[in-house]
Amino acid sequence: MKWQNHIIIGASFGAIINPVIIPVAVLGSTAPDWIEYILKIVGIKVKHRGVTHVVLYWLAAIAFFSLIADYHHIGLGFSIGGFSHVIADSFTIAGVPFSPTSDARFHLFGGKLRTGNAGEYVVAGIIAVLCATWVYYSPTSFKNSHDAETSGFMPFFYDWKKEYDSGVVDGAEWKENRLKFL
Ligand SMILES: [Zn+2]
């Protein structure tokens, strides 16, 4: 899956937990790919979509950071982003490994997506809409919050979503805007 779609999905997952973690979730949303890249650079042999894409590892990271220790939700945000990445990759034909001890690939919704096809934008769009809907209707959501730390994220998220839906924004523009918002 392309990075801009991973970023969209990671930000959407982050928004559900708490908008303040969106920036780290965005960083984590591409982590399984760039960690793989770094491991290769330092000479560690890794399979593509191997050890960095194990669903269980990211779930364990989420559990660790939400239950045991974290620093300003950074670990949680990062692992939510990484989890969103492997979930998104599970929509593709190649799939991802669910556990480190099994070679079986994990697929969601039949794993029909091909990387780079229009389908992955559709999936990212649907996930963004679902998450935005969740955030909007959830009674504890930050739309009701007057906390200065959290207000201001929703308008960004919403405007961008609207523009994306109407086809105004493409991946490159989104990347640019993402930097503004970070
Ligand atoms: Zn990946």
100 domain-assigned: yes
Query: What tokens were used for 66?
Result: 């939400």
The answer as to whether 91 is a domain residue is yes
What's the predicted TM-score (pTM) here?
A: 0.73
Spatial separation of the C-alpha atoms in residues 155 and 5, rounded to whole Å: 20
Residue 9 lies in a domain: yes
State the distance from the centre of ligand 1 to the C-alpha of 129, rounded, in angstroms: 22
Asked if 63 and 84 touch (Cβ cutoff 8 Å), the reply is no
The CA distance from 120 to 113, in Å, is 6
Instruction: Tell me the pLDDT tens digit for each residue of 38-90.
Output: 999 999 988 889 999 999 999 999 999 999 999 988 999 999 999 999 999 99
The number of domains in the chain is: 1
DSSP 104: P
Q: Is residue 103 part of a domain?
A: yes
Measured CA to CA in angstroms, residue 88 lies from 83, 121, 172, 180 at distances of 9, 11, 20, 25
Q: State in Å: Cα 135 to ligand 1 middle.
A: 26
Beta bridge mates, 106: 96
- Mean pLDDT, the chain, rounded, equals 81
Q: Decide if pLDDT at 147 tops 50.
A: no
Residue 178 lies in a domain: no
Percent of the chain with pLDDT over 70: 76
Domain residues for the domain of 59 are: 3-168
Given a cut of 60, is residue 164 above it in pLDDT?
Answer: no
14: in domain = yes
Residue 13 lies in a domain: yes
180 lies in some domain: no
Ligand 1 centre distance from Cα of residue 93 (Å): 12
Say yes or no to pLDDT of 171 above 90.
no
How large is the average pLDDT for residues 10-32?
93
